[in-house]
Structure 1
Amino acid sequence: MACFCNKSMALCLVLTICLLGSSFAELQRFEHPANGDGSLSFLVIGDWGRRGAYNQSEVAFQMGRIGEKLNINFVVSTGDDFYDNGLTGENDPAFEESFSKIYTAKSLQKQWYSVLGNHDYRGDVKAQLSPVLKKLDSRWLCLRSFVLNAEIAEFFFVDTNPFVDAYFENPKGHSYDWRGVLPREKYLANLLKDIESALRESRAKWKIVVGHHAIRTVGHHGDTRELVKQLLPILKANDVDLYINGHDHCLEHISDANSPIQFLTSGAGSKAWRGDVKTLNREVVKFFYDGQGFMSVQLTQTNAEILFYDVAGKVLHRWNAPKQQLYSAI
């Protein structure tokens, strides 16, 4: 279901949200204009919602500073927005205490596009997806899976949680809100079909996929084998440039050994895991940091520049590559 509006983007978003249907429907589409020169810049933060604790507030402050410097267009959230167990309902004070009252900088008063994380699924998922939250804070947009057309780039937000077998087979005492997902097999089959179709039809200069779980990582959780098997082949076949995720509480940049895809983890919005590193994928790791921080992305027609920042706003890693040289830059 596409959204075609000649008025404000806010109206476009409201109209689209009002048209939301079944979980098995075609992916919802949103529009966000690029800059006048065709460029685009945004911040990426994940695993953050702790009412300011574990340096969440300090990271938010630096995001505001960098957001102003880059004049960002929007913010991408990679999930686990509310710890430890999502929201209890539409009126849960955690929404304001972990989001509205934390990300207060003027530069962060832009649209936020968010996917669900596994901790979000432990709460009332429908509350987190509810348009009521947008009435509380107009920046908020969280859906299971959707497409964002930002002119120079298209973003494909994917709900990765239902892919993970362990959440169904061995939930380890946790309760997950699978309303809207079951039957799981049908949900995943339709989601993969929709993602593949949307990627194939995209004519954007940059194709960026966002999910909560990592495909490639040296972090605590390791590669998500279900995504490696089911989603990664679709990304490779459709010329995806970046896969962005959270879940591991770290910052990292990993190249793919046989495709142009760059795997970028930004899951260090609050509590980080120090010293928890695996040996898998080390041969293609360009950067890894096990502290708190966030990421910025700047795109032009011909170039991508990605920076990772720590809790003090210091640049830890910079990756810059022309579009046509992405593969040779591996």
Structure 2
Amino acid sequence: MALAALLLAVLTFSLCAPPPVAGELASVEHPVEEGRPLRLLIVGDWGRKGMYNQSRVAAQMGKVAEDMSVDFVVSTGDNFLDDGLSSVHDRAFRDSFVDVYTAKSLQKPWYLVLGNHDYRGDVLAQLDPALRNVDSRFMCMRSFVVNAGIVDFFFIDTTPFQLKYWTDPGEDHYDWREVAPREAYIEHLLKDMDGAMKKSRARWKVAVGHHTMRSVSAHGDTLELLQLLLPVLKENGVDLYINGHGHCLEHISSRESPIQFFTSGGGSKAWRGILRPNDDKLEFFYNGQGFMSLEVDADMARAIFYDIHGQALHNWSLSKSNRQQVVQCSALVSQE
């Protein structure tokens, strides 16, 4: 109870504080228990009012979260499909979040980034602290840092990077308020991220964005992120880049650096039936629904992918001290 009260106090202070000054990212201090591994779940592309197996994924998340006793949940974006929220009063907030992730074990902080579909709605509504009056778990910002003891999480707003959303949006409308002009926004974001990562003294560094950096699924690699963001991650020794966008589960190892790429975008609609290998090493690919867990202690990071039955599809671990990677289970899982 004491830890829960402290967490609430710290989060309330951090998230109600005035916006950071230019060149400074918002930061949340997530209290951790000394000597205990940090445990969390990661899910993306989920907000479909329980449909397309969203509710089934949520049920299994609740079971795994209870078994692990997770500290928090990370969302990799596309939180409300297909067109974000229309206002802070949009019923979709309850139908896709509050009334779906009801397990007691999931009543923990949710840290969320925006996806491209979120940008098709009223972005300022999804970022509005008023939503936390409806459900205090919901902590969504454009780009921010979560300090969690031995791990710093860098949440990155990746949608503005993709040029086609600006130049060729088709019939879609993107809410670029407080973002345009694109070039200046990206320049400042990269500078801020680089500064925050250099300042970090955490044992592990994890970057979270919506868009794929490396992916063998429908969207493939995001060239703008490879060109602009990846060099910043490499320079600052980031261990993992975790994203959604691809409606699948996948794990890819970089051949050029120690960075591991994880896609956890199976929160609802999936089964696109596309596999397009790239130049990096494909460790695991599942063209279906599910989610990911991550456990981190001083020396080891461990990730597991689960399907809608709660079956563990892929196990991976990495020793920080000797950078030795251990991968279990098959790299490709056939469609059901």
TM-score under structure 2 length normalisation: 0.93
Deviates more, 1:130-139 or 1:8-17: 8-17
Amino acid at match of 2:17: L
The aligned runs of 1:136-285 (5 Å cut-off) are 136-281=134-279, 284-285=281-282
Q: Distance in 2 between matches of 1:294 and 1:79?
A: 13
Identity, in percent, stands at 53
**Which residue is 1:65 aligned to?**
63
Among 316, 321, 327, the alignment partner of 1:319 is: 316
- 8 Å CA contact 1:45, 1:268 repeated in 2: yes
Q: Distance in 1 between matches of 2:134 and 2:95?
A: 12
**Which residue is 2:332 aligned to?**
none
Q: Distance in 2 between matches of 1:233 and 1:147?
A: 19
CA displacement at 1:36 relative to structure 2: 3.2
Q: Residues 143-188 of structure 1: CA distance to partner in whole angstroms, max 9, x if unpaired?
A: 0000000001000000001100000010121000001101221111
SS class of match (1:88) = coil
Amino acid at match of 2:128: S
Among 292, 296, 314, the alignment partner of 2:293 is: 296
CA gap 1:34/1:18 in 2 versus in 1, 3 angstroms? closer
Q: Distance in 2 between matches of 1:245 and 1:181?
A: 21
**Which residue is 1:76 aligned to?**
74
Quick check: 1:104 aligned with 2:102? Answer: yes
Quick check: 1:45 aligned with 2:43? Answer: yes
Q: Residues 249-305 of structure 1: CA distance to partner in whole angstroms, max 9, x if unpaired?
A: 000000000211000000000000331111224x50000000100000001101011
Among 299, 307, 331, the alignment partner of 1:310 is: 307
- 8 Å CA contact 1:49, 1:99 repeated in 2: yes
Return 5+ residue gaps in structure 2 as ranges. Answer: 328-336
Q: How many residues align?
A: 323
- 8 Å CA contact 1:257, 1:284 repeated in 2: yes
CA displacement at 1:24 relative to structure 2: 4.9
**Which residue is 2:130 aligned to?**
132
Q: Residues 88-134 of structure 1: CA distance to partner in whole angstroms, max 9, x if unpaired?
A: 00000000100000000010000000000000000000000000000
Amino acid at match of 2:98: S
SS class of match (2:321) = helix
Q: Distance in 1 between matches of 2:256 and 2:325?
A: 11
Q: Give the alignment's Cα RMSD to 1 decimal.
A: 1.5
CA gap 1:232/1:318 in 2 versus in 1, 3 angstroms? same
SS class of match (1:280) = coil
Q: Residues 37-67 of structure 1: CA distance to partner in whole angstroms, max 9, x if unpaired?
A: 2410000000000000000000000000000
Among 8, 11, 14, the alignment partner of 1:10 is: 8
CA gap 1:179/1:279 in 2 versus in 1, 3 angstroms? same
- 8 Å CA contact 1:23, 1:187 repeated in 2: no
- 8 Å CA contact 1:20, 1:28 repeated in 2: no
Deviates more, 1:179-188 or 1:201-210: 179-188
Q: Distance in 2 between matches of 1:303 and 1:230?
A: 29
CA gap 1:284/1:128 in 2 versus in 1, 3 angstroms? same
Q: Distance in 2 between matches of 1:216 and 1:326?
A: 20
**Which residue is 2:92 aligned to?**
94
Q: Distance in 2 between matches of 1:293 and 1:248?
A: 12
Q: Distance in 2 between matches of 1:9 and 1:173?
A: 43
Amino acid at match of 1:66: V
**Which residue is 2:330 aligned to?**
none
Return 5+ residue gaps in structure 1 as ranges. Answer: 1-6
